[in-house]
Every structure is written in C-alpha cells, then in structure tokens.
Amino acid sequence: MLKRVIAVPALTSRLVSLRTVPQLTKSSCLPLSMAAPRVLLPLRMKTGGRNLGQRRQSSSLAQQKLEVEHTPTPQVWSNSDSTVTVRFEDGATTTFHGIWLRDHCRCPSCYHPSTKQRLLDTSQIPLNISPAKMHMVDNGNSLRITWAGDNHESTYNLTSLRELSYYPSVGPTTKDTLAKSDKKLWDHTLSDSLPVVQYVDVMESDEGVAKWLANVDTYGIGFVDGVPPTPAATEKLTRRVAFIRETHYGTFWDFTPNLEHADTAYTTLGLPAHTDTTYFTDPVG
C-alpha cells in the first residue's frame, strides 16, 4: 500500500541583525525639518527665486528638498548628520545613514557579481561618510551617489532601498507586494484541488522536485503521492530536496513506541499541531 508524504515548512522566528551604525545623539534625533541640509548638485533645488546664499540664511527654510529635473518625485536630500532622506512617489519617507548606504554599494569593486560576496572592508568606511553629490538615473528609478573623500560612485535602485528601509521601515508599496505575491491562502476549496505531485515524478526528474517545492512555496504545504511505505523510500524522497542534517536523534529514524526516550512523539498518543526543534540553536527551517 502506497502512502502520501506531506512537506510543510517549519514555523520559526527570524532574528535580523543590523550592522552597527553611528549612534544618534539627542540633537541628531530632531525632526528632519529642523536638520540643516547639505546642498547637493546637480539635482534642481526649489529656491523661490533667491540665490543660494540667501537660502542658507533663511532659518525658516532649513531643509531643502532636492528634486529630479524631469519629475517632482521622488525626492532626495542630504542632512548634516551624514544621513540621506528619500521621499518616494507615494509620499513615504525614510532616512539612511551614509555608512549604511556606502556599505551596501553593489558595484563590482565592492560586491562580487558572481559569488555575491562582499569585497568592501566595512571597517575602513568613515563613520561620518556623506555624499558629495547625488542625482537620479535610470529614468528616475535609481539614485546615484558620489561619495566625499574618494569620489566613489554607488547606484541604488529605489525599489530595493524601500524594501531595505529601516529608519523608519516603509516597506514595499501595496502595488509591488501584490505583483510579487503568488501565495494562496487556505479555504474549503483547497480540498478540491490539493497541491499534489507523484513520487515517481519527484524521483525521476528535477521538474518534479521543482513542482513539489513550488507547491510548498505557494500553499505552505505540498503532498507527494505514491510513496512506497518504507523508511528507505521516505529517506530517498527527502534527499531529493536536500541533505539530512544530523542531530542528537541521528540522521533518519522511525518513531516507534518507546518510553525510554521520554518524548510524547515516541508514544501512541496523538500529536496536535506543533512546531519542532524550537529548542535547537539552529532550528528546522
């Protein structure tokens, strides 16, 4: 009798570690409208007919917005605390530290295009690094910064900056989220068309594996039908996805009633929905 194997990604929490950035002092945490800007060209400024000297002398206009010449948005400007503020087309505004931006440069000399590994020595970036000039490229979809000091040029896609924003996090637009999302939520209709692939397809072709994993990605669950009811067949199926990581339980084992393990999983009691290995330093998933 053949059996069905179900693949469900483990539910785990993810801790995002941010690299240390210059600590903000009380004075540097003032509202952006109170921060004295660093005026950068070649972006066009709104000067209201006054020259630059007059503009700097006006305390009521301490913050100057720098705009792309061919469109009123997006807007970018540099602040006196070595940060860069970006206002996106929908008005969402966020700020990046200069050192964070320089550290995230993806030019070939800072980031290997093939290995995707960092080539830049982060410790050599000045903590107070700031732009010498900024301008928009790629039809207003990217920001190019020339850095003070070494005149290095970095280009940042605005969509990527929005996704990586942190001060504050403004996230992707609703339009971008809907365009990228292909997830399907469960309801009663799922039982009419379960995400199933056949064992023979998974074992004999990479296309079968891809379809199985695509089901897991789309539905959060994936079924494999026609699996021979043996531990060996289940282990072979597992290895089609990845290697089996060894733990204190071993690599691959059967659950049989054995109270010596002092674990409910080794009893005949039913197990409700739960998340495995949350007590591991490196849990499943």
Asked if residue 48 has pLDDT above 90, the reply is no
Q: Which of 54-63, 229-238, 259-268 has the weakest average pLDDT?
A: 54-63
Does 173 fall in a domain?
yes
Is residue 6, in this structure, part of any structural domain at all?
no
27: phi then psi, degrees, rounded to nearest 5? -70, -30
Residue 267 has pLDDT above 70, yes or no: yes
Decide if 142 contacts 188 (C-beta within 8 A): no
Residue 169 near residue 77 (C-beta atoms within 8 A)? no
In terms of domains, do 97 and 207 share one? no
Which domain CATH number covers 131?
A: 3.30.2020.30
Same domain, residue pair 39 and 172? yes
Same domain, 44 and 135: yes
Q: Which two tokens stand for residue 165?
A: 């924003």
Q: What percent of the chain has pLDDT over 70?
A: 71
Instruction: Report yes or no on 131 lying in a domain.
Output: yes
Structural domain span for residue 39: 32-179
Same domain, 143 and 211: no
> What pLDDT is attached to residue 268?
82
pLDDT for position 176 = 57
The reply to whether 56 and 161 lie within a common domain is yes
- The residue among 179, 204, 229 that closes a domain is 179
Give the end of a domain, one of 179, 196, 226.
179
Is residue 275 a part of any domain in this protein?
no
Domain assignment of residue 273, yes or no:
no
Type and span of the H or E element at 138: none
> What confidence tens digit (pLDDT) does each residue in 81-105 have?
999 999 998 899 999 999 999 999 9
pLDDT, tens only, 167-214: 999 987 655 555 566 788 888 898 888 999 999 999 999 999 999 999
- What 160-169 contacts at long range (C-beta under 8 Å, 24+ apart), as own/partner pairs, is 161/86, 161/94, 161/96, 162/88, 162/92, 162/94, 164/104, 165/94, 165/96, 166/18, 166/94, 166/96, 167/94, 167/95, 167/96, 167/97, 168/94, 169/94
Domain boundary among 158, 179, 200: 179
* C-alpha count within 13 angstroms, C-beta hemisphere, residue 6: 6
Question: Quick one: 225 and 200 in the same domain?
Answer: yes
Q: Give the C-alpha separation, 248 to 3, whole Å.
A: 27
278 or 238: which leads in pLDDT: 238
* pLDDT at res. 168: 93
Both 120 and 208 in a single domain? Answer: no
Total domains, the chain:
2
Query: Is the overall model pTM greater than 0.75, yes or no?
Result: no
In the predicted model, what is the mean pLDDT of residues 224-234? 94
φ/ψ of residue 52, rounded to 5: -65, -40
Q: Are residues 143 and 205 in the same domain?
A: no
* Average pLDDT score over residue span 30-48: 33
What's the first-to-final CA gap in the chain, in angstroms?
30
Backbone torsions φ then ψ of 197, nearest 5 degrees: -125, 160
User: Looking at the structure, do residues 107 and 160 belong to the same domain, yes or no?
Assistant: yes
Q: Could you tell me if residue 11 is inside a domain? A: no
pLDDT at 154 over 60: yes
- Chain center to CA of 208: 28
Which of 71-75, 104-108, 114-118, 246-250 has the lowest average pLDDT?
A: 71-75
User: What confidence tier does 136 reach under pLDDT thresholds 50, 70, 90?
Assistant: very high
Residue 165 sits at φ, ψ, to 5 deg, of: -60, 145
Q: Is residue 230 in some structural domain?
A: yes
Residue 134 in tokens: 């900024």
Task: Check whether residue 137 and residue 43 sit in a common domain.
Answer: yes
Query: Are residues 138 and 206 part of one domain?
Result: no
Say yes or no: 172 and 143 in one domain.
Answer: yes
Report yes or no on 69 lying in a domain: yes
